[in-house]
Amino acid sequence: MANPITFSSTTPNAGLPLLFSGQSQKEFFINQSLETIDALLSKAVESSSSAPPSDPGDGACYLVAPDATAEWSGRADHIAVRIAGGWHFVAPTEGMELYDRATEQTLIFRSQWIRSAAPTNPAGGTVIDTEARTAIIGLIEALKSAGVLTEPT
């Protein structure tokens, strides 16, 4: 006979709580998991912020900025999800992607959240190839519109 399967206390990717035999109030664990799944399925945050907003609705998601304060202190780079009037934090995993609604940009987590910056438009030089520059500028604008690139800083 095969050995029984054993589980840790949480799921490996999103850290969702798992149920165990004889566990009381299982609805809390199930509801927390469903709320977290609901928030992460959209893979979008309202914005990146260092402090919780004053009046967020349930289901609101924010990316916690590195200089986080108040309830978010010590949770830099986490995704803060509002569940039943409180904050639940999801740690990012390598390769996770999010869409930031405030900046209209896609972010990817690679040891930290990365925002792709657009290169500067071509200018100068002794030979000007107008068609090539027009194509490059069009490509950069299309990538910005798709949320892949943002304005250079």
Q: What are the tens digits of pLDDT across the range 61-119? A: 999 999 999 999 999 999 999 988 899 999 998 888 999 999 888 898 988 898 877 77
pTM (predicted TM-score): 0.65
What is the longest distance spanned by two Cα atoms in the chain? 77
Distance CA 94, CA 53 (A): 27
Q: How many residues can be counted in the chain?
A: 153
Asked whether the beta carbons of 90 and 81 are under 8 A apart, the reply is yes
Q: What is the pLDDT of residue 135?
A: 82
Which residues are 36's β-sheet partners? Answer: none
